[in-house]
Amino acid sequence: MTRLPLIAALSLCLLALSGCNTVHGIGQDLEKAGEAISNAAKK
């Protein structure tokens, strides 16, 4: 039962990485995520 969260987290990571095919794409995605978190914190 404790393996389920680990499997879910790994699956989510794989889906996220498959969405951006290059290192540049990963950087852009991380930047957008950081901006979203920053904007949410300002509100």
Separation of alpha carbons 4 and 24, rounded Å = 31
Model confidence, pTM:
0.45
What average pLDDT score do residues 19-43 get?
78
Q: What is the pLDDT of residues 10-30, one digit of tens each?
A: 888 887 776 656 666 777 888
For residue 8, the enclosing domain spans 3-42
For residues 6 and 15, the answer to whether their CB atoms sit within 8 Å is no
Domains in the chain, number: 1
pLDDT of residue 3: 85
Q: Within 13 Å of residue 23, how many CA atoms lie on the same side as its CB?
A: 0
Is 1 a residue whose pLDDT tops 60? no
pLDDT of residue 20: 59
